[in-house]
Every structure is written in structure tokens, then in C-alpha cells.
Amino acid sequence: MSYCNNDVESWRYRYNHERPHESLRGFVPAKIYFQYKRHRKHYEL
């Protein structure tokens, strides 16, 4: 079963960190998420 988890984790990493998404104008989700998280921190009260 651990080999399945490794495959899923590998796919999830590629999907979120390497594969450009058309809906994000060619960016990867991780880049968008971490930019949002960094900017959001400045505006929290």
C-alpha cells in the first residue's frame, strides 16, 4: 500500500508544483498560493 501513497504524493507534487495550469494563466498552483499567503499576511489585523 505504501507504493500507492508514493505514487499519489508524486502526482500531487507534480500537479501543484510543476504542471502549469491554464486557469492560472500558466502558473503552477503552489506559486499562486504562496504569493497569496505572503501578501495576505501583511493585511491581517
Q: Domain segments of the chain: what residues?
A: 2-43
What pLDDT was estimated at residue 43?
Answer: 56
Give rounded-to-5 percent helix, strand, coil for the chain.
75, 0, 25
Identify the H or E element spanning 30: helix 29-43
pLDDT band at 42 (very low <50, low <70, confident <90, very high): low
Enumerate residues 6+ apart whose C-beta is below 8 A from 15: 29
Output DSSP code: residue 9. Answer: H
Coil, helix or strand for 13? Answer: helix
The per-residue pLDDT for range 11-38, each reduced to its tens digit, is: 999 999 999 999 999 999 999 998 887 7
Counts of helices then strands in the chain (DSSP H, E): 2, 0
**With 70 as the cut, is the pLDDT of residue 45 above it?**
no
